[in-house]
Every structure is written in C-alpha cells, then in structure tokens.
Structure 1
Amino acid sequence: MTDLAATRSLLGDLIAIPTISADSNLEMIAMLASYLGDQGAEVEIQTDDSGKKANLLARIGPDEPGGILLSGHSDVVPVEDQAWTGDPFGMWEDDGKLFGRGTCDMKGFIAAATAMAPRFAANDLRRPVHFAFTHDEEVGCLGARNLTEILKGRETLPSIAIIGEPTEMRIIEGHKGCCEYTTRFTGFEGHGSRPELGVNAVEYAVRYVSRLLDLREHLRHRAPPGSLFEPPWSTINIGRLTGGHVHNVIPGRAEVDWEMRPVNDGDMDFVNDNLRTFIARTLLPEMKRVFPDADITTEVIGEVVGLEPMDSNTARDLVAYLTGANGTDLVSFSTEAGLFQQLGMSAVICGPGSIAQAHKPDEFIELDQLDQCLTMLHKLADQLAA
C-alpha cells in the first residue's frame, strides 16, 4: 500500500468518528495511539478532568531534546443545519477530492503524519519526531493549553513545531491571538419609575461596552512598527449584549460577549488591566452603594496567544527546505501554534487543504494536497535520519 493509499484509508477511519467538540474524542485518540504504538512509538495519553477528552503525545526516535513536533487537533465543528450532499461522517471521493467533516480541518494532516509512522520508524532517526494530537481546539485550544502546561519543564522538548492546519502547504509564520470573554452584570431590579432605587445591569453593561470601544480606538495607535497583519493593530469586537425583560422594570442581569484579537501579549494585558481598574474603581463602587451584592464577573471562554513572526525562525527555514517554498504568509485565523512558541519552540503552520473549505458543508481536501504533505514528511524523515 502506498503512503497516499494508507493516508486515505486512515483518514476515512478518522472521519467516521464524529469528534465534534461537544462530544468525546477518546475513540479517535485510542485508534491513533494503537497505530503509533504498533510502529514502536512511545505513546502518552493525557485525559482531561472530565475523563471524556484526551490529548495524545507520541515519539519515534531517541528520547532527546531537539526533535520535530507534528501537531493537529482532533475535534471538528458541528454539522447541524448544514446542507451536506453526503454523509459528513462517511468519507466519499469525487473528482480527486475527499469529502467529509474534518477532511481538511484537520484530520487530513493527522492521517498523513500518522500514516508516515512506519517510514519514521524504519529510518533509524538520529533526532526524534513527536506527534501531538489535541482536543477542543475549536472551542478555545483547551487541549493544547493543558498539553503545554504538562510539557513545561520537560528536558526533552522538541525544538521545532509544525502545526498542520490547512494552508494549501503554504508556510504561515504568524497570526493574531484570539481571546473570548463573557462579562456578566448583577444589579438590583425595581420599578422603572424609580431608577435611582435599583441598579440597572444593562446600563452598566453599556458603560462597559463603551469602555471597550474606547480601548479599541487606543489599540489602533499601538500597532507594532512594520506590522504585517491586516489590520496591523489588535482588535476588539462586541458579539452580544443581552439583558432586561420589559420597558418598566429595572433589569437586574446583563451579559456581554466580546473578543479581542491581540497582535502581542502586551495589548492583551493593556486591555484586561484597564478593564479591571475601571470595574474596581468606578463601576462596582457605584453599583454597591445602592446594592451591596451587586457584582461584575468575567468568564474567560478562551485565551489563545498568537504566533508572533520572528526574524530568526528555524521552523520556517526547515519547512521551506522541505517544501521548496520561497515565501511565507500571515493568516487571520488562530491556531495552537503560539502556545508551542511560548514553550520556546520555533513554530510554523503548514498543512494540506484550504481554510476556505473548513467549517462548511461538503468540506473536502484534494488528494494532491495530501500527496504534497506526504512529500514534505518523506523529506523530513530523511532529514531526521541524516
């Protein structure tokens, strides 16, 4: 069986396991662990607190620092209310394309990397190759955040991380972070004719949103010199504001969903520190003067750091050699790459398929893209054995 045929077969098996983020991924992780274990890989499964999700970390080659990490997320987005022309969890082929939920985002890369395990194992590697397959990337990179916390302090960390998100095999060396929050306001209800006797949660939520919009304007002037992002500054978006019931009742509850896309960690700290001060010094004291139990809380839905472009990037240089590419790009979507960069690894994003197909009905990956990915991994196997 050729590497492409093995990849196609394995991808069909992975697509058949509906690892939507709301559901367990344990069956998929167990399948990959068995496959890699059969090739002699050292396999570690890290289960989350719920016991229903897990990361897989595996290694082929010597237990030494300086290896290469191949990383992908196991979860996929839902298919409800999408007009698929076939079974999203029953992969089918048409005109050189493989269709199914997760084919490009990002089980195609996982299948290619795993199908290459026999080649890696047979090559008597002088430097190790690591596999990291995570859970819950689509809902805040939860698995990768757990994984990187566990990896902190380990002496045999890889030095390079290749995250196989769908980039059409282009080298991506940077993206913004993605931070998502829900801020909740607890006020004190009362009759609308006496607003001074209540604490209007919606009014305080509006003032909070106004501060967010002010901060958004400040961020425009904090763009790093020479920033290549579009737009070049960090951004804030207000996604939802809800609260209240009827015209004549002082609303006691309100919620704001908002997100920030920071260019750098400094902007994330700038915004969050400013909001904490605004709440502590202005909003909460005013609310508590009327109702001592008034409160404002912020739930962190996800805080994912960006991948910061670096002048010196050994991962970029390696993947350029492996693929023959002579240029790099930045992207607007976020990935787990920045988390590995924070561990001290040199990181890039490069994988088969197009992000334009991700999350859509009839998601697909072209067989030619998988073939290009396998060519890159073949050269990597030779490089690690040299």
Structure 2
Amino acid sequence: MNSKALLAALIGFDTTSRESNLQLIEFVRDYLARHEVPCELIFNGERSKANLFATIGAADRPGVVLSGHTDVVPVDGQPWTVPPFELSEKDGKLYGRGTADMKGYIACVLAAVPGLLAEPLRMPVHIALSYDEEVGCLGVRSLLAELEQRPHKPALCIIGEPTELKPVLGHKGKLAMRCDVHGAACHSAYAPQGVNAIEYAADLIGELGRIGAGLRAEHLQDPRFDPPFTTVQAGLIGGGKALNIVPADCRFDFEIRTLPDQNAHDVAQRLQHYAQQQVLPKMQAVDAASDISFSELSSYPGLATDAHSDAANLIAQCCDSSEFTTVAFGTEGGLFDAIGIPTVVCGPGSMDQGHKPDEFVSVAQLAACDRMLERLTWALRE
C-alpha cells in the first residue's frame, strides 16, 4: 500500500482522544505482521488504548525512532464540508481529521516499511505510535518508561508533527494547572459577611497577569521563539450560583508555556506563594474555613536539541536542509529528550491546518515525506 492508501485507512478510524485507538493499532499491527515485522503493544490500565512499538532490523543496538501519535482532536461544532473520517481529495489536497496532525506522517512511515526491510540497516528503525497526545502527552509516558529500562535505548527520534518538513529542534514546554478557591456564601445584601470566591479568584488571575508581564523582560527572552518569552494565561473559569448569593466557590484553569530553559513549576509556585501569603489570610480573616488549592492537569517539557547532534545531522541529510527552526506548539519530543533520546520534529503538512475544520495535507507534502523517508533508509544502509 502506498502512503495515500494507508492514510485513507487511518483516517477511517475515529481516534478522537475520548475514543479508543485500538482499531487503528490493530490495523497497524496486522499490516506489520504481513511484512513479518514484530511489534508489541503497551496498554493503558483499562486496556482501552495502546501504544505500539515495532522494530525493523537488529534490536541489539541503538536505533532511530519514527514516532507519531494516533489520537486526533474532536470535530464537534466545526463546519466541515467533507466527511471528517473519510479521506477526500480535491485540488491536490487530502482532507480528513488527522491528515496533517498527524496521520499523514504515520501513513508515510508505514509505506516506508517494505523499503526498510529490503536494505541491510546499520542501525534498527523503530516505529512508535502513542495515544492521548492531544490531552497532555499521556500515553507515550508508559512507552518511554519501557524504553528507558532496555539495554539498547534508541539513539535518536524523529517525531512527524506537521512542520512542512522543515526540521524543528525546539519548542516550548507546557504546564496546565487548576486553582480552586473556596470561600463562604451568604446573602448578597450582607456581602461583607461572606468570602466572595470569584473576587479572590480574580485577584489571583490578576497576579498571574503580572507574573506573565515580568516574564517578558528582555534578558529572559529567546529570539528563536514566537513569542520569544514564556507566556501565562487563564483559559477557563467558573463559579457562583445566583446573583444574590455571595459565591462560595470559584475554579479557574491556567497554563504556562515556557521557554526550554525555564521551569514552568517555578512560575506556578510564584502564584501559589502569592495565594498563601497575600490572598488566603484575607479570606480566613472572615471565615477560617476558606481555602485555596492548586492541582496539576497536565505537563510536558520543552525541547532544545543541539544543532550539532547526530539527530540534527541525520535529519538535515534527509531533508536536504540544515536550517533548523522552532515551533510554538508542543510535542512529545521533550519527553523523549528527557530520557536521553535526542529528538527532531519534522513531518508533512502544516499546523495551520491542524485542529481546524476541513483539515488537510497536500499530496505534494505526502510525496515529499515519502522521499525524506527513502533518504533516511539510504542513510542507514550498512
């Protein structure tokens, strides 16, 4: 099967993160089995989802990982003009949920399998497919825990997120947090006798903005990124029961997107310190049972691969480009890098189309990815 036919099959599986990815994983497992490529599945606790890890070539030495995530974002409420889970082609574009992010790359990797098998490889090629990347890079963590324990850990990784096949060596990290503010309700006519959780949450959100403004200082910036500084923002908020009741509870979610050399948890701790030292004493002066709590929703580290690393050199060979760049969105790359597997992000399509209605990857980009993987095969020949 060529990459377009494989992409059509992959798009046909609704692997929205809330759904199981097992039908797609079983399809890939069966496809690899037909080519006599061994693979293993690493399930989640409920056995409703799985990572897949396959090896082409000798497994007794470090190899190259071709990595992608199988889950996609929802189509709910989006004005699609084509069926989202059926591949459609028009004017040189292939439409469907996940075509760009990132089943196009997975299709090209699978299409490359016969060529990889036909060559004597000096190092193995691994195929790694994960689940739940879109909801916090969750599934890949159990896969990486397995790889970290093996005697021959992979030497490098290429993650095929859509970069228009421009090699990416860096992206920001992300920490998503939830803050719960618990105050004391009363009739709004006697508002000073209550503890207005919404007002105190607003105070915390204001402080979050001030922290973010401080992170824009010129000496903290990295011009390789856009924007060139760590950003913070509150994205969800909810609280209150009725206008004439002082609200006892308010919750807001916020995120911190850090430059690779900065620690998102340090930024979060600044808000937590402000909450404990400046806000909570005021609340408890009115009602001692008042409280503010923080919980982590998800996180992943940033990526900053050395431009002179083996991973960078190999991808430069395959892409015919030594011009490396960075991206604003996050990937699983920082997690691979954190266990000592240098990682480059490079795949077909553009994130400008990812997550949108009528998502697409061009036929030309898919063909170019096929060529990149052919060059990778040649580069790995003995």
Pairwise TM-score range, normalised by the shorter structure: over 0.9
Structure 2 CA distance for partners of 1:294 and 1:42, relative to 1, 3 Å: farther
C-alpha contact 1:322 1:380 (8 A) present in aligned 2: yes
Decide whether the 8 Å contact of 1:76 with 1:101 is kept in 2.
Answer: yes
Partner of 1:279 in structure 2?
275
Instruction: Give SS of 2:45's match.
Output: coil
Paired amino acid for 1:92? S
Match of 2:68 in 1: 72
Distance in 2 (alpha carbons) for counterparts of 1:160 and 1:213: 38
- Mark the CA change 1:247 to 1:362 in structure 2 (over 3 Å): closer, same or farther: closer
Q: Does 1:248 align with 2:244?
A: yes
* Inter-partner Cα distance in structure 1 for 2:226 and 2:287: 44
Secondary structure, aligned partner of 2:234: strand
Q: Of residues 129, 132, 150 in structure 2, which corresponds to 1:133? A: 129
> Do residues 45 (structure 1) and 32 (structure 2) align?
no
Q: State how far apart, in whole Å, the 1-side matches of 2:276 and 2:48 are.
A: 38
| Matching residue of 1:104 | 100
- Deviation of 1:171 after TM superposition, in Å, equals 0.9
Name the CA distance, whole Å, in 1 between partners of 2:107 and 2:201: 46
Check whether the contact 1:265–1:305 (CA below 8 A) recurs between aligned residues: no
Corresponding residue of 1:54: 50
Q: Which of 364, 375, 381 lines up with 1:379 in the alignment?
A: 375
Stretches of structure 2 that go unaligned for 5 or more consecutive residues are: none
Residues 1:348 and 2:309 aligned together:
no
- Name which of 211, 214, 235 aligns with 1:215: 211
Deviations 1:136-158 (A, max 9, x none): 11111111233223333332211
Q: Which runs of 5+ in 1 are unaligned?
A: none
- 1:171-320 map, 5 Å: 171-221=167-217, 223-224=219-220, 226-264=222-260, 266-320=262-316
| 1:20 and 2:16 aligned | yes
2:318 is aligned with 1:322: yes
How far residue 362 of structure 1 moved from its aligned partner, in angstroms, is: 1.8
Q: Which moved more, 1:376-385 or 1:220-229?
A: 220-229
Q: Is contact 2:43–2:49 with CA below 8 Å preserved after alignment?
A: yes
Deviations for 1:200-259, whole angstroms, at most 9, x for unmatched residues?
Answer: 211221121122112112211275465411222101112133222333321111011211
Counterpart of 1:11 in structure 2 is 7
Percentage identity across paired residues of the two chains? 39
State which drifts further: 126-135 or 175-184.
175-184
Instruction: Judge which range, 189-198 or 226-235, deviates more.
Output: 189-198
Distance 1:247 1:85 in 2: 42
- CA distance in 2 between counterparts of 1:347 and 1:265 reads 16
Q: Which residue of 1 is the match for residue 151 of structure 2?
A: 155
2:198 and 2:247 in contact (8 A); partners too: yes
1:370 pairs with 2:371: no
2:307–2:324 contact (8 Å) kept in structure 1:
no
How many angstroms apart in 2 are the aligned matches of 1:225 and 1:286?
35
| Cα gap change, 1:223 to 1:42, in 2 (>3 Å) | farther
Residues 305 and 342 in structure 2, CA contact (< 8 A), matched pair in contact too: no
Q: Which amino acid aligns with 1:317?
A: N
- Give CA deviations for 1:55-75 in whole Å, capped at 9, x if unaligned: 111111111342111011101
Q: Is the 8 A contact 2:306 2:312 kept in 1?
A: no
User: Which of 77, 88, 93 is the equivalent residue of 1:92?
Assistant: 88
CA distance, structure 2, for counterparts of residue 14 and residue 223 of structure 1: 46
- In the alignment, residue 347 of structure 1 is paired with which amino acid? T
Aligned counterparts of 1:190 and 1:265: Cα–Cα separation in 2 = 46
Question: 1:329 offset after TM fit, Å?
Answer: 1.4
Give the whole-Å Cα distance in 1 for the aligned partners of 2:324 and 2:129: 25
Q: Is the aligned partner of 1:81 residue 2:114?
A: no
Secondary structure (helix, strand or coil) at the match of 1:371 reads helix
- Decide whether aligned partners of structure 1 residues 252 and 265 sit closer, same or farther in structure 2, where only a CA change above 3 A counts: farther
Question: C-alpha separation between the residues in 2 aligned to 1:265 and 1:243?
Answer: 35
Tell me the secondary structure at the aligned position of residue 293 of structure 2.
strand
TM-score under structure 2 length normalisation: 0.93
Distance 2:2 2:156 in 1: 26
Structure 2 CA distance, aligned partners of 1:219 and 1:74? 35
Q: In terms of mean alpha carbon deviation, does 54-63 or 302-311 score higher?
A: 302-311
Cα RMSD for the two superposed structures = 2.0
